[in-house]
Structure 1
Amino acid sequence: MAPRLVAVTVQATATPHPTTVFPLVMDVALPLIFTGFGPLPAVTEVREQSGPWDPMGVSRRPVLSDGTTAFERITACSPPDSFAYEVSGFTNILGRFVHGAVGSWDLTREDDAGTRIQWTYALRPKRLRTLPVRLLIAPFWRLYMRRALAATIREVHRQTGATTA
C-alpha cells in the first residue's frame, strides 16, 4: 500500500498576467527564494541541470546549505497555466521521513487582481512516518513555502517593474 501524501498548499497574487508570470516563476533562481527557515536549509546552488527548466523531463540537483542534495524532475508543463515536478533522493534528515515529494504550481488570471499562484507540495511519507511528517515537518514546510512564494512574487515584480497586487 502506498503511503498517504501530506499536502501543503500556499497561494498569493502577482500583478502581471500569467503569460508574463509563468516563465519568471519557472526560471526563478532557487537560492534566491529558498533561503532557509528554522531547521530547513537554504538552497545554495543547482547542479546537473539537464536543460532549460521548462520542458517535461528536465532534471536538476539542488544543493542545500547543510551540504546535502535532492533530485528534481519536471513531470508536466502547460504554459502559462501550470507545471509539476517531483523531488526525490533527499540526502538530509528529510530522507529518513519521506520517499520524496510532488509539487505543482497553478497560475490563474483573476479579474483586476493579477495572477493567483497556488503552489502545492505533497510529501510522500515513508512507512509509519505519516504522523511525524504531518505534525512536525508540514508546519515548518508551509512557513518555508510562504517565504519562498513571497520571494518569488517579489522577484517577478522586480523583473517586470510591477507593483504589489
Structure 2
Amino acid sequence: MTYNINIIRSNRKTLSLEIKNAGELIVRAPSRLSEKRIYKFIAEKEDWIQKHLQIAALRQESEENSENLSEWDIKVLTKEAQRVIPILTRQYAGKMNVTYGKITIRHQKTRWGSCSSTGNLSFNCMLMKTPRPIQEYVVVHELAHRVEMNHSERFWKVVEKYMPDYRERRKWLKENGSHLI
C-alpha cells in the first residue's frame, strides 16, 4: 500500500508516526534530525505503517458505507437506550458499590459514554446498535470513573475486576464502533 509522507519538524526530542487518513503518513521529527535518519525510522516501522494504513482504509470505507439515520431512527434508538441503559447502570453500580447522578442519552459523533466529575453519566444512543456485552462494557467503563476519574492502571484494574474480559469487548468496539457512530 503506497502513501504520502508529510514530515513536520519541531522542537521535540523524539520521532512519531501518525496515519492521518488512508494514504497519508505524518512523521513528527526533531528539527535537527537528518532526513536519512527519518527515512530509516520509517523503514523500521513499515509493518506498523502498513497495518494502520489498512485500518484507516477500512474505517474510511465503513464511514462511506455507513447508513444515514433519520431523526426518527435516532429517536427510536434514544427511547430504547432510555429504557435499557438505566437498568444496566443500576445493576452494575450495585455490583461495583458506586453511586452516580443523572443519566443522559444523546446522539454523539465521537463518544460512547462519559462521566462528569459530579457523577452524571452520558451515553450514546448508538449503543443500541451494539451487542449487549458491548453496552455492558461501556456502562462498567463509565461507572469505573466513579472510582478513578482517569484512565490510569488503577482505573483499568477496576474495570477488569467487574468485567474480566473487558479487553475483548473494548477491542470489538474499536474495530466495529466507527461505522456505528
Give the TM-score normalised by the residue count of structure 1. 0.28
More strand by share: 1
Higher relative contact order (CA 8 A, sep 6+): 1
More helix by share: 2
Instruction: Give the number of the structure whose alpha-carbon radius of gyration is greater.
Output: 2
